[in-house]
Amino acid sequence: MTNTIADIKDPILSIKDLSISYDKHKAVKNVTVDIKRNTVTAIMGPSGCGKSTLLRALNRMHELYENIHTEGEALLNGLNIYDMSTIKLRRKMGMVFQRPNPFPTMSIYDNVVAGYKLNGIRAKKKEKDEIVERSLRDVALWDEVKDSLHKKGTFLSGGQQQRLCIARALAFSPEVILMDEPTSALDPIATSKVEDLLVKLKENYSIVLVTHNMSQAARISDYSLFMYLGELVEYGKSKNMFTNPVDPRTEEYLTGKIG
């Protein structure tokens, strides 16, 4: 790997020698990387390069599937995520998925506080109201839905649903938000709204964003990782990487020769 940033102090996430394999196939190979606090860090690369696989290792989603094995470690604020309970870890690491997936049986309101409801955490009505309003304001959805909070979340448009899902992840005040191509199922207008939102959210959260859309990474990320065939090829400030890539493979990807 080239162009490593050695001087990230007090990283929010510190991934060390992480490898992930599906059955015998190694999808992510010995990735070591530190993620800076309060930034948007984009993971990009062509399909099948292991970017989503790497992201999903961070909240240990892979443990749902028996054929996926993970080696190495990842530290969240210096604590090994593999020593925590998945329940605790996932409350600190929110996740937003490729397709909007609000809970179809729940209202908009209940979707936002789903983390509390489903976990059986009792909160007063007033507290919940505050959480809902704050989270929906954070994702710029409040004005659009404040009069229909008790309608089903699935009645919203795709872009609104995705912002609702982001609000759901924010409700727990996580430290990191993992986003797996959050705009790939959205139209351009909804996409730009979500992108604006991410830039705003980094004030309070650290965001790791998987995207196959280079221009999106260029537009909103502070740091970028380029992965190719499971390897971390290049990591650096997005500004530098997009204008002056160090590794020839990065350059080939950015100029459209691979991918």
Partner 1 sequence: MVESIKTLSDQDHSAKRLFKDKFVYIGVIVLSAITISPIVLIIAKLIIKGYRQISLDFLVQNTPDSFQAMTAVANGEIIPGGIANGIVGTFVMVVLAAVIAIPVGVLTGIFLYENQGKFIANLTRNISDILQGVPSIVLGLISYLWIVKHVTNGFSALAGSVSLSIMMLPMIVRSTEETLKMIPQTLKEAALALGVPYHKVIFRVLIPTGFSGLLTGILIGISRILGETAPLMLTALGSSMINIDITKPTSAIPLLIWDFYNDPNMIGLIWSSSLLLMAIVLILNIVAKQVAAKRS
Binding-residue pattern over the window 50 to 89 for partner 1, x denoting contact by CB under 8 A: ---------x-x--x---------------------xxxx
CA atoms of 182 and 185, how far apart (whole Å): 7
- Per CB under 8 A, which of residues 174..233 are in contact with partner 1? none
Contact call for residues 199 and 171 (beta carbons, < 8 A): no
Instruction: Provide the residue count of the chain.
Output: 259
Smallest gap from Cβ 7 to partner 1, in A, equals: 32
CB atoms within 10 A of CB 133: 15
Q: How many positions of this chain bind partner 1 (CB under 8 A)?
A: 28
Q: Phi and psi at residue 53, in whole multiples of 5°?
A: -60, -45
On whether the CB atoms of residues 235 and 225 are closer than 8 A, the answer is yes
Q: Which two tokens stand for residue 213?
A: 């859309």
From the list 45, 55, 163, 172, which residue makes contact with partner 1 (rule: CB under 8 A)?
Answer: 172
Q: Which part of the chain contacts partner 1 (CB under 8 A), choosing from 1-9, 92-100, 190-198, 245-253?
A: 92-100
Q: Which stretch binds partner 1 (CB under 8 A): 21-29, 40-48, 98-106, 187-195?
A: 98-106
* Residue 122 sits in the site that holds partner 1 (CB under 8 A): no
Regarding 165 and contact with partner 1 (CB under 8 A), the answer is yes
- Check if the beta carbon of residue 122 is closer than 8 Å to that of residue 150: no
Whole-number minimum distance, CB 105 to partner 1, in Å?
5
Q: Give least dist CB 101 to partner 1, A.
A: 5
- Strands of the sheet with 79-80, listed across from one edge: 25-35, 13-22, 68-76, 79-80
Distances (CA, A) of 85 to 43, 109, 117, 225, 244: 26, 28, 19, 28, 41
CB closer to partner 1 out of 14 and 162: 162
Q: Which is nearer to partner 1, 43 or 58 (CB)?
A: 58
Q: Is residue 95 involved in binding partner 1 (CB under 8 A)?
A: yes
**CB closer to partner 1 out of 61 and 108:** 61
Residues whose CB falls within 8 Å of the CB of residue 66, separated by 6 or more in sequence, listed in order: none
Going by the DSSP 8-state scheme, the letter that residue 107 receives in this structure is B
- Name the minimum Å distance from CB 177 to partner 1: 10
Q: Tokens standing for 171? A: 């409700």
- Binding residues (CB under 8 A) for partner 1: these are 59, 61, 64, 86-91, 94-95, 97-99, 101, 103-105, 114-115, 117-120, 165, 168-169, 172
